[in-house]
Amino acid sequence: MFGGADLQECTKKQKKEGLGFGHDRISELPDDVIINILSFLPLRDAVSTGLLSSRWLDLWKHTPYLDFFDTDDIYRTKCDTEHGSWDVGTCKHVKMVNSVLESHHALFLKRFRLHFYANKSAQSVVTKWLGFVWSRQVESLDLNFRCDMQNYQVVLEDLLGEMRPMKYLQNLSLMMMKVRGEDISLFLKNCPFLRKLRIEESFLTSDVHISGATLALEDLQIEGCVYSESKLYNATFYFYLILLDFPTPQTYIVGSRRQAFGERVSSTAKSQRIVP
């Protein structure tokens, strides 16, 4: 049994050999391992780890996941006056994104996700953010501006002026914004390996054409959208699903607000026109 002097001596020995509880073993890990750990944390918490030590100060700036969420305002619908009074200059989420993107250094992103309220008054700011995305080899892009008023929605067309080819993009999700068929065609042209495309709760302002002999698209979802006398044309999509020999070469287009529909497209048809 240890006496007081023996215990004190043992504790000193442990500290000297790095065996004490105060020894920071995590900081001895390689940077790549720590960055991978940080990628599992909410972004705000990952940034906060910079307070631990000078070694950790810049590690979060290399995480491959950038997720910006408003967890306090997910289900609440804004009234008309709130849409008009929203100020991009004072929005804390806009400030957060600006601050992070100014500091972030990763050249490759597994995911870039925006899920908070923003309306058309933020067009120039969102365009700047997407300029950052175009410069990274992003695999998944998820934009949800949580604006359900058509007159205030972000217009996707105005965000794509500086769009570059994105050969790594595999998943694209667009929600609560104004979308043209030409915008979708531009993504399909610039993203040759796009496998999943989802458009939800948005306002479609023109016909959507899904076609191309080299499409890699496997999963197409257009759900809960409002159509401005637009139609969805599909010239070759399902045909090439069969040529690529997928296990279930069928896709569903569901949920038009103007008229509920759920059309299953025949897996043997070379062309199909779906009119909601």
Question: pLDDT tens, 23-43?
Answer: 667 777 888 888 888 888 888
**Given this model, what pLDDT does residue 81 score?**
65
How far out from the chain centre does Cα 164 lie? 17
Task: Answer for the pair 93, 139: CB distance below 8 angstroms, yes or no.
Answer: no
Q: How many Cα atoms occupy the beta-carbon half-sphere of 68 within 13 Å? A: 25
More confident residue, 79 or 94: 94
Tens of pLDDT along 224-273? 888 775 555 554 443 223 222 233 333 434 333 333 333 333 333 233 33
**Given this model, what pLDDT does residue 123 score?**
94
Task: Answer for the pair 147, 139: CB distance below 8 angstroms, yes or no.
Answer: no
**Given this model, what pLDDT does residue 73 score?**
65
Write down the pTM of the prediction.
0.74
Task: Output the six-digit token pair for 35.
Answer: 């960055």
Tens of pLDDT along 169-191? 999 999 999 999 899 989 988 99
More confident residue, 269 or 115: 115
Question: What is the distance between the alpha carbons of residues 27 and 62, in angstroms, rounded to a whole number?
Answer: 16
Question: What is the distance between the alpha carbons of residues 258 and 115, in angstroms, rounded to a whole number?
Answer: 25
**Given this model, what pLDDT does residue 243 score?**
28
DSSP 3-state of 43: helix
Strands 232-234 and 272-274: antiparallel
**Given this model, what pLDDT does residue 76 score?**
57
Question: What is the distance between the alpha carbons of residues 115 and 178, in angstroms, rounded to a whole number?
Answer: 16
Taking each helix axis from N to C end, the angle separating 92-103 and 123-134, rounded to the nearest 10 degrees, works out to 30
Task: Output the six-digit token pair for 193.
Answer: 């390996």
Considering the chain, what is the average pLDDT of its residues? 75
Closest CA to 63 of 88, 44, 43, 49: 43
Question: What is the distance between the alpha carbons of residues 41 and 160, in angstroms, rounded to a whole number?
Answer: 30
Give the 3-state secondary structure percentages of the chain, helix then strand then coil, rounded to 5.
Answer: 35, 20, 45
* Mean pLDDT across 50-54: 74
Q: What's the pLDDT band for 66 if we cut at 50, 70, 90?
A: very high
Above 50 in pLDDT, residue 12? yes
Question: What is the distance between the alpha carbons of residues 179 and 244, in angstroms, rounded to a whole number?
Answer: 29
